[in-house]
Homo-oligomer: A and B are copies of this chain.
Amino acid sequence: MNKPARKTRSGARGSITIKDVARYAGVSPMTVSRVVNGSQYVSDATRQTVLQAVRRLGYSPNIAARNLASARGERMGLLYGNPSASYLSEFLVGALDAATRHGVQLVLEKCELTPAASRRAVRRLVSGGAVGAVLPPPLCESTVIRAELQAAHMQIVAVAAGRPPADLMCVRIDDFAAAQEMTRYLLALGHERLGFIKGHPNQSASEERWRGFSSVVQEAGHLPAPRVEQGFFTFRSGLDAARKLLATEPVPTAIFASNDDMAAAVMAEAHRRGLEVPHDLTVVGFDDSLIASTIWPGLTTIHQPIAQMAGEAVDLLVTAVRGGKGHGPVESPHRLVAYELVARESAARPKGTAD
């Protein structure tokens, strides 16, 4: 019999195992496991004892072991490759956090929007062992990607699609309502000559934002018809749109751009024409992307809790994947989260109005 301790247990970090806790608390490892995993079948007294032991010893479960034993640790794909990618960093933070919580692994895969690239990306994901995928915008609009993923029997969650297909799991804000709120905000400030820059026609959120805007304008009734330009969510397209909006009289007193990049472009063009923001022109955006708080004056915009949305997307995915293993389909595959109008310096009452 050669059974010397194979490894010096002392020095190693984080080497406190469930057995140590069990011994310390005077219970069996199983009971500790139950406490740690929040099973109901533990008496309060025992639970307290164990929790104390856990705290005293600084126990933290070994994820690898846990995953191995419980057949968890699935891999979840996150397809990214966002042209207007201010989302990504916050998105990753939220997704990674949720993934850690659930003990699943997050696999990143870059993906262009061409069919060929999509196919390749999905294939890499599949061969990487992913069982589900999170699709941030604008990838969630790609039918090719969706088809490829579904063909591979993957669970999918779309994030921030404006009007998602009913059969798709989805986490989003109410773009329509948010655009309405922003428009009402402009009206409340006293603006009447409004300009609007639409988003990319391929993304369903664009339509929603536009509908929100125009519904409020129509509701108000008395306003002059707003000036509208088509944009494509890029700074450059915003510049072109702004040029048109600002070149011909009557110049709007407020411009609502469908995202922040375009709003920043409007500000740049306004400044070039000698207009001060917000004194001569109010500019508002949508998304609260990085650029909104980077530039000066700061952009009044709609904040999306991107990290939270990404987190919920992963939650949804995990539920779907695990649920699918035994139970029925997921209860409510659509999740609406709260947006927030963030007032910074780029919006004010129109010139010549009392404060």
Contacts and interface: CB of A to CB of B under 8 A. Distances in A.
Given A63-B73, A73-B64, A105-B63, A264 B93 contact: no
A58 B294 contact: no
Contact of A268 (B7, B13, B14, B271): B271
Contact of A235 (B71, B265, B296): B296
Contacts of A63: 64, 73, 105
Interface string A260-273: 01001101100110
Contacts of A265: 295-296
Contact of A108 (B93, B105, B127, B236): B93
Contact of A261 (B72, B85, B294): B294
Contacts of A64: 63-68, 72-73
A93 B96 contact: no
Interface string A20-62: 0000000000000000000000000000000000000010101
Contact of A272 (B96, B107, B272, B294): B272
A66 B127 CA distance: 18
A236 B60 contact: no
A188 B7 CA distance: 62
B60 A127 contact: yes
A68 B62 contact: yes
A209 to B, nearest CB: 20
A260 to B, nearest CB: 9
Interface string A230-272: 0000011001000000000000000000000100110110011
Interface size class of A (residues with CB under 8 A): 35 or more
A189 interface: no
Contacts of A73: 62-64
Contacts of A294: 84, 235, 261, 264, 291
Interface string A275-298: 000000000000000110011100
Nearest to A93: B108
For A67, A73, A290, the residue with the greatest tally of chain B CB atoms inside 10 Å of its CB is A290
B296 A239 contact: yes
A51 to B, nearest CB: 15
A131 B14 contact: yes
Contact of A291 (B106, B291, B325): B291
A103 B351 CA distance: 59
Interface in A62-96: 62-68, 71-74, 80, 84-86, 88-93, 96
Interface in A114-149: 127-129, 131
A165 B129 CA distance: 41
A229 interface: no
Interface of A: 7, 12-14, 58, 60, 62-68, 71-74, 80, 84-86, 88-93, 96-97, 100, 105-108, 127-129, 131, 153, 235-236, 239, 261, 264-265, 267-268, 271-272, 274, 290-291, 294-296, 325
6 contacts: A62-B68, A63-B73, A64-B66, A92-B92, A265-B295, A291-B294
